[in-house]
Amino acid sequence: MPAYKLTYFNGRGTAEIVRLVFAAAGISYEDVRLEQDKWPELKPKTPMGQVPILEVDGTMLCQSNSIARYVAKQAGLAGKTPMEQARVDMVMDVMDDMGKKGNAVFWEKDEETKAEKKKEYEETFLPQFFTCVNKLVGDSGHFVGDELTLADITYFNTTNLVGNYFKLPNMEEFSGLKKVTEHVTSNPGIAKWLKERPETPF
């Protein structure tokens, strides 16, 4: 069993998807939460000057989705066939786009522009976006196949994170997405992690 060491700041952010996958997979890992003042020293040692990174037996991986996918494969959570895997990837990517768009609004410096963009994001973009994502959910209540995959977990995580900063539409309207959320939060490993994970501002 290799030793997994995940390093990120003390928050959910872009590392949380990896922590959720480890939890669902039942794989233990070292959850290193970096103090801000330790970051300048670590930064040049990382492949692209960013965290999260995952160290596995001496190799350092970066890019949260690549790390998540790597861990998910260990536990069969990445999709069973190349087409299933592509559909899992697709959901991860669209959720990423949604998160990044929200991030751009959050970091907008001009107050007036920010207010406009926030309104557009909450009132126009998100309802349309969730309508499209809802269409991708199968009758099983999963995005791909009949079992939990990284697609379901990513949907839950990104929506959860975005919902901390923005007003989400009425999610009751999206019956498929509701089922996905139930599947994710009732996964034993994830349920335990959600209860026990550190409370952090981001």
Partner 1 sequence: MPSYKLTYFDGRGRAETCRLLLAAGGIEYEDNRLPQEQWPAFQPKTPFGQLPVMEVDGTMLCQTNSIARYVAKLAGLTGKTAMDQAKVDMIMEGAVPLFQKAGDVVMGEGDEAKKAEKKKDFEENFAPKFFADMEKLAGDKGYFVSNQLTAADIAFYGNYESIKDFVTLPSFDKYPKLKKVVASVQANPGIAKWLKERPQTAW
Q: Environment class of residue 140 by beta-carbon count within 10 Å: exposed (0-12), middle (13-18) or buried (19+)?
A: middle
Q: What is the rounded (10 degree) CA torsion for 198, 192, 30, 71? A: -120
As a whole number of angstroms, the distance between CA 17 and CA 106 comes to 20
Q: Which is nearer to partner 1, 110 or 196 (CB)?
A: 110
Strand partners, 54: 6, 61
**Per rule CB under 8 A, is residue 27 in the interface with partner 1?**
no
| Shortest Å, Cβ 103 to partner 1 | 13
Beta carbon nearer to partner 1, 75 or 194: 75
Q: Applying CB under 8 A, what is the total number of residues that bind partner 1?
A: 30
Selected binder of partner 1 within 19, 22, 25, 65 (CB under 8 A): 65
Contact assessment for residue 66 and residue 60, using Cβ atoms and an 8 Å cutoff: no
**Measured CA distances, 182 to 47, 164, 176 (Å):** 36, 19, 10
Closer to partner 1 by Cβ: residue 135 or 195: 135
- Sole binder of partner 1 in the list 43, 86, 147, 167 (CB under 8 A): 86
- Binding residues for partner 1, per CB under 8 A? 47-49, 56, 59, 61-63, 65-67, 69-70, 73-74, 82-83, 85-87, 89-90, 92-94, 97, 129, 132, 135-136
